[in-house]
Homo-oligomer: A and B are copies of this chain.
Amino acid sequence: MTLYRSVADFRPDQVDQILDRAAQIKSGEAPIASTHQTIVGLAFLQASLRTRTGFAAAAIRLGATPIEVLGLRASDASMPESVESTIRILAGYTDIVVARVDQPLVVPDSVKVPVLSGGDGGPAAEHPSQALIDLFALSQLPVPISQQTIAMCGDLRMRAARSLLRLLTERRPHRLVFITDPTLREGLEWPSELNKLIEYRPLDDIADVDALYVVGIPHGAIHEEGRARLRVRTDHLESMPAHAGVFSPLPLIDEMEREAFNHPRVRIFDQSDDGLFVRAAILEFLLDVPERHFAEDHRL
């Protein structure tokens, strides 16, 4: 069993490999065919739309079939089963498990298949597949990531933001602009080598920003006044360069003004659509499909 809980569980060259394959799949190259009998277990014990349906679709595009467990359910005779036990049972029936949980993702030793976090909880919570999707979205801009000024706006402690920050440490963009409130980065740690790239700015100072990444702000995380200061408006988007893009790992509710959603800078749905290719590349990588095919060829 290998657990992929953090982006750090992927080597930098593996990240490259996954992004390259995602680009190939996007450009029309067929993902390496799996068989209908290959099963992708989706243990989404916390609710999700993009990640769950995105992995289900990616599994099917690969030729595999998903099975879902949504939420923890009590059996008739007992309390709800534990997260660990639920994942262990599902792992016994499947070839890979993607799990979303609200606690640190831990997997029993007896699990024999790869387990990928679809977002976990706790103080070191991460969301590695989302961060790979976000990195892919950044890579679609006409400026290479190494030359991009990337602004992150909102609650920087969100798990997708934490994972993306770790990936960006490796990729080293030109500049990282944090648009946030001190309470929304309380306790957040990042690699010290990022410090010289980081600037703190208000939301109306993004004229040089290539990518605005709207992290999202949980309800109740900050008072309405602070929340309003971090709300993306059309005039902010207008101030950005023409080639710039606005991305988000989450459904935005009031973190962006309703009228701003249709602004040409906003690439959130493209980012979501491309997520399918990234997830297909991730599953292909984790299922190690080529090797399997080789084994099957020999069996014949």
List A residues at the B interface (Cβ < 8 Å): 36-37, 39, 41, 46-50, 53-54, 56-57, 60-61, 63, 65-67, 69, 73-79, 81-82, 85-86, 88-90, 92-94, 102, 110, 119, 155, 158, 216-219, 250-253, 269, 272-273, 276
Contact = CB atoms under 8 A, between A and B. Distances in A.
Contact of A57 (B36, B67, B272): B67
Contact of A93 (B78, B219, B276): B276
A183 to B, nearest CB: 15
Contacts of A39: 57, 60-61
B49 A60 contact: no
Given A47-B74, A49-B75, A79-B219, A93 B57 contact: yes
Contact of A77 (B49, B63, B158): B158
Contacts of A252: 78
Nearest to A85: B251
Nearest to A30: B37
A53 B90 contact: yes
Contacts of A56: 67, 93
A279 B81 CA distance: 21
A54 B49 CA distance: 22
